[in-house]
Structure formats: structure tokens, C-alpha cells
Amino acid sequence: MPISLPARSLALSFALSGSLLGTGARAQNPVATFTVQVNQPGAPIAKTMYGLFFEDINFAADGGLYPELVKNKSFETDDRLLGWKAIRGAAALTDYSIITQNPISATNRNFLRLTAATASPDAGLLNEGFRGMGVKAGAQYTFSVYLRRGPGNVQGLNVTLEEPGQGGPGPEAPASGRTLAQARISGLTGSWQKYEVVLKPTATAAKARLKLTLDGAGTLDLDVVSLYPQDTWQNRQNGLRPDLVQLLKDMNPGFLRFPGGCIVEGRTLAQRYQWKETIGDVAARVPLVNRWNTEFLHKFTPDYYQSFGLGFYEYFQLSEDIGAEPVPILNVGMACQFNSAELAPISRAGGPSAPADHNHAADPTLDTFIQDALDLIEFANGPASSPWGARRVAMGHAQPFNLKFIGIGNEQWGPQYLERYEPFAKAVKAKYPNINIVSSAGPAPDGDLFDKASQRLRELKAEVIDEHYYAKPEWFRDNVHRYDNYPTTGTKIFAGEYAAQSVAIGSPDNKNNWNCALSEAAFMTGLERNADKVIMASYAPLFAHVDAWQWTPDMIWFDNLKSYGTPNYYVQKMYSTNPGTTMLPVQRDGGAANGADNLFSSAVADDKTGEIILKLVNYSAQARPVAINLAGVKKPGKTGRATVLASADLEAVNSLDQPQNLSPQDATFKVSSSKVTYTLAPYSFTVLRIPGKR
């Protein structure tokens, strides 16, 4: 439900007036005192503390971050014509077939053959894009295609970008819409050749489509049809959608987890994510079904595939661009336990463990998965003289990506996981002792399987355990003390997937509302207070297309042209852009616990800027005056900076039309001594930066 503007101005006025707030509020709410023990600093905050979880769910990759506009560009999906529609041009088009003889390459086996008996301006085909194609007036789009002329007299290919007309594409005469851009390709020959033209739309359209028609009668073969925006992140070829990357970079993320998520596992082992299939020539990457396509009956998406245009090289490059440590999560020889739960045998009875072409083996053993992990580390970090390092260098990155983490298994559970994790982790450590390994505690944050996995992984001296929690908002507020009694030594925690669910896990009615975001903010004070135990945390999932999602809530939503951060995004951003460098203890008056009276807090020092940073959550409908005592602070400055995210409406959400409905407001406030007063707005999350050294 949209929030009214006055609520936002209210938040700002609280932040600005600080201690000058009217006495009425004070009379109702006694001042809560927070003592920050600046002179008793704790452990350093890990640079990885607040990061990102990326999974290709909700059209996060194709149709999202990966901006190729043509769906099924190489005719390689199981339904070879997925995304394409033939247009017959008053019966001129007599045949359109998928052919495999003499393809452009052995890895790109299928192509389309069009035959027109007579010339017609409408004999050809249409591509629908990913819920349409988003194009901008005046921007440039590179159209490319491989063509081969067959018998007959086809002189060229007409390329039209258009907005569909009323009535949709009929096979005889498509309801032609407004033409946005047009070009013609000529100079065809009898052998495969790549052609390129640039299209410049005359108008902006969110749901355009591509029309390709034959110029003349005869036969023409087509493959690898691409329409790619030139406006990409860093203007790279095969680059990413800039507005979405910018939203990520703005967060100052500590790490980027990839590729998931259950997608790592696949519904079956054959459908697992295999990183080696995602690198090299983009045209040669073979698409794989996306496991989220038909997972939810309420959001059936049978046309969902992974083109792998955004593959592992692009992932490492993105991590580097946004300053995040890459954290790849790899399959541990287990298909998704919510689906087939298929297992790779730990070893092959009596036989060799990994056949030569092990990646395509029908029944890979665990060795295949281990080898993939070792090879990935070599791809990321190895020298040009190593086989996989050479592949990275050939793709254009001579320097290593400096990979430091690797996850073994996604959200696995039970003895089958632990049996596979142990030899896997040993093999990785034997070859790469400096790589930090992330292990899994399963899908639930508690219970028998969670306890057993956590205990065993600690016995095995696991470095980092990945915990997941998708729960109601109240769970997040009630569990703010979750980590208080975790051991400070040994295994560290990665809160690898979490999000408050306003209705229930998997419900299509879940909302990214303020109640969820504020509850997450409250919970995160508990992460920060335990930053000597929790070294990484990421909200999940990251992205969702408004017309093509399967799972909600999600941190960032977009359509084909626009995007926005949810209130949850802003909460994450307020943490990740204010991470600090050193933990500081905070105590409440009278020894009240964190969260007492619906007030939540944590504090860190930023030794680089010489500031004390407080995170304060007021989960109540009243304004809350607070006193902050900076015990032992040196040189407190005179002006503090406040960032406030607040709304009296717990149902408030952002949207494409109102992207900033709920967004942080900045203000300054006076600091006259080591004792600071401030008033927290109703239902607010506030970050205070106060100059002062420890």
C-alpha cells in the first residue's frame, strides 16, 4: 500500500530536529539511554560483512541483469522455437524448420531454415523477447545474426523493431504495430557469415518485439540472432544492464554469492549448474532449463531457461566492478533435496572415478564435482600457464580474480551432505589451503538436522557455516539474540539467505513492506553485535521482474526499462554503506536487553573516518527520545550525520511508479559533548555517524 508523503516529511523532521523534539513525546516515552563503550572496542568487522546473494530466479539473469533482448537466440532450448513465431506473409512463407546439418559449430547445432515460395514483406518471424523488449528512444542496439543463403533468390533480411499492434501476431498478416527502427542486411552468401547492423529506436517502448522478414523468395538459414543494447555497464560488449548494476554498486557490497541458491543443485543432477558450460564464446553456450520454471503452480513460467550469457567470467568481472569478494557456491554431488534428491556416488564401485569427459558423464561421481571446484579456483586465480588460468586470460582478464571463498553445496542437509562435504573440503584444502570454505547448515535455522549439521561441521573445523532463514517478521525481531551465545572462536557464520515473509514462505502474496524491512533492520543489530561470529550476511533473493517472478519478496524489482529498491534494499544499503571497522559494545539503561521496549541497537567504530556509528531501530508507533553516552570517546566532533528510513505505515512499499516512496533521508544534528540526545521517529531505522575516536 503506498505511503502518504506526509509520513516521509515526518521522518525527516524528526531527524532534523533531533533533541529539540516537542516535550509531548518525551512525557509519554521515558528517555532510553544507550551507553556505547567506545573505550572497550571489540573485534574487527569483516570486510565481507554485508553482501549480496544472486540467483537466476524471477528473470534475474536473462530478461534482467543480462540485457540480451532476443529470447532463445540460437534455437537451442528444448522447444526449439520458444520465443519465436512464424509469420506467413499471405502464405508466402511455405516452410520454417529447425535443421542440424552443417551448423555454425558443433556446440551450436540447431538453426532455423526459412523458405518463402513468393516474395512478401511479411514472410519471416517474430521474437517476443523477455515479456517484450525494453528499448529507449535514441539509444543504440546492435543487431547481429549468422546467415547462409540457400536455393532461390533471397536478397537480404529486413530487421524491424516494432511495438505490437492490436490483436497480436496473426500467422497470415501480423498486426503490425508502430515501427521503432528498421534496417536491411544484404550481401548474403552460401556459407555462414555474421552480419551486424545498429538499430536506433525513434521512441521508447517497454514491450517491443523484433520482426525479421525475407527480402525475396527462396531459402535462408539463420542462427545466433541477437539484439543487444550498446548502453551496458562500462559499455562492455556482452555487458550487464547498467541501472541494475548501479543499484548493486551503490550498496558497497562486501561479497557477491553466485549462482544461488537451488539453481546450483538443479532438480536433477543433469540439470545442475555447471560453471564450465558458462564460459568462452557466448554464442557457443548451450542453454539449460531454469529449475524455477515450473516450481510454483501459482507462477508457472515454462519459458524460463538459462542462456548463460551471464556466466562465470561475467560474474567474476561483476564482483570486481562492484568491489565485492566473489563467493561461488558449487554443487556437492546432490540435486535439490526438495525435488529429485538425486545423489552422485562418492566413488564408482571398482571403476575409475572420473571419466575423461567427466562433465558430460551421465552418472558423475563426487570426483567430478571436486574437480570442477578445483578447476574453478584455477580459472579464477591460476597463472596463464595453467590450463584454466589460460582460459581466463583468453577471455580478457590477465590478472587473477583473487578468489578467496568457495561454497561446497547450497542448502543441503542430512548425512548425505556431510558424507560428501568432508572429502570435498579435504581435497580443496589440500590443493588450495588459503581458500575459505563455506558449508551448509540446511534450509531451516533450527531443529534436529540443523543442530546435527552445525555440530558435525564444527567438529570438522569448518571455516564458515551458511545459515538460512525465511520467516515471519516477528521471528526476526524475536531472534535478535540468536548469535549472542555462539562461540567466538572457530567456525564463523554466513547468514547466507534471509528475508522476512509477510505471509508465509513461498506465498505469492508476500510483500516487500516496511514491517518486513524494519524487522530485518532490528535483527541485523544482532548480526552486528556478533560480528566476531557472523562474518557475512545477504538478503535473498536479490532481483525480480515485475512480469516474470516466481518468488516474492525480493530486494530489487524491475521491468524492461526501470528498476527500484524496496524498503528492504534500503535497510541493507544503510548497513552495507555504514559497516564500520571495529565492534563496539552498547548497553541499555538498567541492563535492558537489545530489543527491550521495541528499541534495537548496535554500534561500531569507523577507524578510517574517525566516527562512531550507531544503528537504532524504533519498532513502535511512538517517537522515542534517546540519550547516547559515548563512554571514553576521544575528540567528539560538533556535528553528527543521521540517515533515517521511517514510515508510520508498516504496510508501506515502493513500486515502479513510486520508487522512492520509502527511502532514506539524510540530515545533520548537533553534538555538544560525549552525551548526545536524539529522537527516533516512529517505526524507524536510523544510522547515526558521530565524529569521535576510540
Contact set with ligand AHR (CB under 6 A): 55, 57, 260-262, 410-411, 443, 497, 540-541, 551
For residue 470, the minimal CB distance to ligand AHR (Å) is 7
* CB closer to ligand AHR, 537 vs 540: 540
Query: What gap in Å lies between CA 165 and CA 98, rounded to an integer?
Result: 28
For residue 524, the minimal CB distance to ligand AHR (Å) is 18
For residue 542, the minimal CB distance to ligand AHR (Å) is 9
For residue 255, the minimal CB distance to ligand AHR (Å) is 16
* CB closer to ligand AHR, 260 vs 664: 260
Query: What gap in Å lies between CA 479 and CA 219, rounded to an integer?
Result: 66
* Pairing status of strand 305-306 against strand 288-289: antiparallel
Active site annotation includes 528: no
Cell numbers linked to 260: 544461488
For residue 337, the minimal CB distance to ligand AHR (Å) is 10
Query: What gap in Å lies between CA 72 and CA 61, rounded to an integer?
Result: 14
Count of alpha carbons within 13 angstroms of residue 307, beta-carbon side: 30
Instruction: Kindly give the interhelix angle for 366-381 and 387-395, rounded to the nearest 10 degrees.
Output: 50
* CB closer to ligand AHR, 29 vs 412: 412
Chain residue at closest Cβ approach to ligand AHR: 261
> Which helix or strand (DSSP H or E) is residue 34 part of?
strand 32-37
Q: Where are the beta strands (DSSP E) in 563-637?
A: 563-565, 582-584, 586-588, 599-606, 611-618, 624-631
> Which helix or strand (DSSP H or E) is residue 94 part of?
strand 93-99
Cell numbers linked to 214: 525475407
Count of alpha carbons within 13 angstroms of residue 206, beta-carbon side: 11
Instruction: Kindly give the interhelix angle for 312-322 and 366-381, rounded to the nearest 10 degrees.
Output: 50
Looking up cell 550498496 gives 251
Residue among 411, 463, 497, 611 flagged as catalytic: 411
Query: What gap in Å lies between CA 561 and CA 540, rounded to an integer?
Result: 23
Query: What gap in Å lies between CA 17 and CA 554, rounded to an integer?
Result: 34
Bridge partners for 666 per DSSP: 643
For residue 257, the minimal CB distance to ligand AHR (Å) is 10
Q: Where are the beta strands (DSSP E) in 118-177?
A: 123-127, 133-135, 141-152, 156-163
Which whole-number Å values give the CA distances from 583 to 32, 445, 591, in the listed order? 21, 25, 19
For residue 53, the minimal CB distance to ligand AHR (Å) is 7
> Which helix or strand (DSSP H or E) is residue 215 part of?
strand 205-215
Query: What gap in Å lies between CA 535 and CA 255, rounded to an integer?
Result: 11
* CB closer to ligand AHR, 411 vs 611: 411
Alpha helices (H) in 530-659, listed in sequence order: 567-576
Cell numbers linked to 637: 566532533
Task: Bin 489: left if φ > 0, else alpha if -120 < ψ < 50, else beta.
Answer: beta
* CB closer to ligand AHR, 177 vs 266: 266
Q: First and final CA of the chain: distance in angstroms?
A: 43
Count of alpha carbons within 13 angstroms of residue 586, beta-carbon side: 29
Cell numbers linked to 272: 545442475
* CB closer to ligand AHR, 278 vs 410: 410
For residue 571, the minimal CB distance to ligand AHR (Å) is 17
* CB closer to ligand AHR, 11 vs 336: 336
Query: What gap in Å lies between CA 586 and CA 584, rounded to an integer?
Result: 6
For residue 301, the minimal CB distance to ligand AHR (Å) is 14
Which whole-number Å values give the CA distances from 286 to 132, 224, 475, in the listed order? 22, 11, 42
For residue 505, the minimal CB distance to ligand AHR (Å) is 8
> Which residues are known to be catalytic?
411
